[in-house]
């Protein structure tokens, strides 16, 4: 689909061609592990075995590539996509510059898995471009950006990092922003990764990931590792993510409206401090001395890990999603609360949080009396 069409048009149509056999507007889900061959070695396109290729996966990859402006390779999870990207671009001894505030699982992958194979890394606050410039040397192979960051929602200037990259490749985890708000390849990054589990799938019913390369050579390299390691998503999971993509633009607008309403309440609540929202997307974080009690007191905001689905979630990162950064330079404060604002009626979300905040205030008052 032409790049000149609006993002919403591309989100609805990307990667979808009606089924040539029966004309179904949505192509069939190819739930198969293998494909018939006329004679040994004679098969349709590259469809010989489903780890190597699957039409449902190919349709999703085409759509994701179109929306980010590159060539996409789908994986079974966001972390599988990250692992593929880092292991293909780096080798033992390579130096990677990581953000000082990032998803705990990404830190665990680098610190506990890849460091054992000789990867070297430094954590740096990437909102400070001078600090980033000091951390990047001619030996740096990869700069890993996450923006907005999880869970502190810091926003990194992607073009500013690209301008200071020296010889390094630049990869951006675009999970929190999505291509509806930010397209890193257009800002000079070499790669984008997503946990498609989150906003792209959008309905909390699938785990998946994708790595997208600007350059076709790197795309081939990612496809090679996709097949060699085999962390591929199943056809039904690909179908679910693809279906989610079709409403991405609508959902992202609704998530932002919910977040805006919630932020207004939080900023007017004396017990709440350090309210963070990048001004787009549905992710909000803030500090509250009774973080644990608050997270256990909401009704509409479900207490659960993950984010980006149509329903609102609340969590305490230090005790949940970010346990793997405990005692590291990327550790998060224990009183931090993270919200994933869904697409419910914003007034109901505000009322739910207001009631939970009031319950916490009453409990604190009771303790003081």
Ligand X SMILES: Cc1ncc(COP(=O)(O)O)c(C=O)c1O
Judged by the rule CB under 6 A, the positions of this chain that interact with ligand X are 77-79, 103, 105-106, 146, 150, 173, 175-176, 195, 197, 207, 209
Task: Single out the residue of 209, 244, 215, 243 nearest to residue 229, CA to CA.
Answer: 209
Q: Which is nearer to ligand X, 70 or 99 (CB)?
A: 99
Q: Which residue has the tokens 């907005």?
A: 148
Minimum Å distance from CB 211 to ligand X? 11
Under 8 Å between Cβ of 196 and 174: no
| φ/ψ (deg, to 5) at 354 | -60, -45
Q: Which is nearer to ligand X, 146 or 190 (CB)?
A: 146
Q: Which is nearer to ligand X, 62 or 175 (CB)?
A: 175
Given CA atoms 283, 246, 146, 159 in this order, what sign does their dihedral have? Answer: negative
Catalytic residues: 51, 103, 173, 198
Minimum Å distance from CB 349 to ligand X? 21
Minimum Å distance from CB 243 to ligand X? 17
Minimum Å distance from CB 166 to ligand X? 25
How many residues can be counted in the chain?
A: 369
Q: Which is nearer to ligand X, 68 or 146 (CB)?
A: 146
Under 8 Å between Cβ of 68 and 174: yes
Q: Which is nearer to ligand X, 185 or 261 (CB)?
A: 185
| φ/ψ (deg, to 5) at 174 | -100, 20
Minimum Å distance from CB 298 to ligand X? 20
């Amino acid at each position: 689909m032409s790049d000149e069409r609006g993002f919403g048009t591309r989100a609805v149509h990307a990667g979808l061609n009606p089924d040539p056999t029966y004309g179904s507007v949505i192509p069939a889900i190819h739930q198969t592990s293998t494909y018939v061959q006329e004679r040994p070695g004679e098969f349709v396109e590259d469809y010989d075995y489903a780890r190597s290729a699957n039409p449902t996966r190919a349709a999703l990859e085409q759509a994701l590539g179109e929306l980010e402006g590159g060539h996409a390779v789908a994986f079974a999870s966001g972390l599988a996509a990250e692992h593929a990207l880092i292991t293909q671009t780096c080798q033992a001894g390579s130096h990677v510059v990581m953000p000082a505030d990032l998803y705990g699982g990404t830190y665990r992958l680098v610190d506990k898995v890849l460091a054992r194979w000789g990867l070297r890394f430094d954590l740096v606050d990437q909102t400070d471009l001078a600090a980033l410039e000091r951390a990047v040397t001619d030996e740096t192979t990869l700069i890993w950006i996450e923006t907005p960051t999880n869970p502190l929602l810091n926003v990194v200037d992607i073009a500013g990092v690209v301008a200071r990259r020296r010889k390094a490749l630049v990869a951006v985890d675009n999970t929190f922003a999505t291509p509806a708000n930010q397209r890193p390849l257009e800002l000079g990054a070499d790669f984008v990764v997503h946990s498609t589990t989150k906003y792209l799938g959008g309905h909390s019913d699938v785990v998946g990931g994708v790595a997208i390369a600007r350059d076709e050579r790197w795309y081939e390299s990612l496809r090679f590792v996709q097949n060699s390691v085999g962390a591929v998503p199943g056809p039904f999971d690909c179908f679910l993510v693809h279906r989610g993509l079709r409403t991405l633009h609508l959902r992202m607008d609704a998530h932002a409206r919910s977040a805006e309403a919630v932020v207004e309440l939080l900023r007017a609540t004396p017990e709440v401090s350090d309210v963070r929202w990048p001004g787009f997307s549905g992710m909000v974080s803030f500090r509250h001395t009774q973080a644990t009690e608050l997270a256990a007191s909401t009704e509409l905001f479900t207490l659960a890990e993950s984010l980006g689905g149509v329903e609102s979630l609340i969590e305490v990162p230090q005790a949940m999603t970010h346990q793997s950064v405990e005692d590291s330079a990327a550790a998060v404060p224990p009183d931090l609360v993270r919200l994933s604002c869904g697409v419910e009626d914003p007034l109901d979300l505000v009322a739910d949080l207001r009631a939970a905040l009031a319950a916490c205030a009453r409990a604190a008052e009771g303790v003081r009396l």
